[in-house]
Amino acid sequence: MAVLLHVDSSLFPLENSGSRRLTDAFRRSWEEAHPQGSVVYRDLAAAPVPHLDAATVTAGTLPPLREELIAEFEKADVVLIGAPMYNFTIPSTLKAWLDQIILAGRTFGPGVEPSGKHAVVAASLGGSYGPGTPRAGFDFDTTYLEKVLGGGLGMRVEVITRELTMAPVNPAMAELVPQAEESARRTLERATASAREHAALVA
């Protein structure tokens, strides 16, 4: 039975969140492909997990919540992560979740085989950070997750990035609204298609 681990981190509800719209489209397409499968859902804005502390790191045994989070990650066939950019990087709640599931000797590090799991990052950026843009190189959201999930945890990572989400509400970006609308359309289509592709891979 296929298992999707769905993690959202946007502060905003579905109707106001670019990343949640992408993860919602992916999840609905996934559930259509796997009606008998299961989805494990974590909304890190509604129910944040704690940041690591000294007691957790030095404990002889894993605290129950950390064991639960790692077990969810280990059992998942595909991990879907909603990752809006806040102040040029991922939300602190998402960083806390990553810190909980990244455990040397179990999920990464010497002697641990790359997981080979599939990860899909549904990112939403208020602007555009590609080559030639005024803030090129300031995207520490998707670049960070690609390194951590791919290089650190040995996952196969796909990033779906919706750009220019601030264009409709920022008068200074009004001329970019058509590009923002195209990005929204294109990425929603990609999220739906990606779910079908990943569903076929783990069927």
Comparing 17-21, 22-26, 109-113, 176-180, which segment has the lowest mean pLDDT? Answer: 109-113
Residue 22 confidence (pLDDT): 98
State pLDDT tens for residues 22-79.
999 999 999 999 998 899 999 999 999 999 999 888 877 899 999 999 999 999 999 9
User: Which pLDDT belongs to residue 61?
Assistant: 86
- CATH class, domain 3-202, is alpha beta
> For the residues 155-164, what does the mean pLDDT come to?
97
Q: Using the predicted structure, report yes or no on whether residue 110 has a pLDDT greater than 80.
A: yes
* More confident call, 202 vs 153: 153
List, in sequence order, every residue forming a beta bridge with 79; answer none if it has no partner. 5, 119
- Identify the band that residue 112 occupies on the pLDDT scale cut at 50, 70 and 90: confident
Mean pLDDT of the chain: 94
Average pLDDT over residues 105-134: 91
Delimit the domains of the chain by residue range. 3-202
pLDDT value at residue 58? 83
Nearest Cα residue to 169 out of 177, 157, 159? 177
Alpha carbons 6 and 23: distance in angstroms, whole number = 8
The pTM is what? 0.95
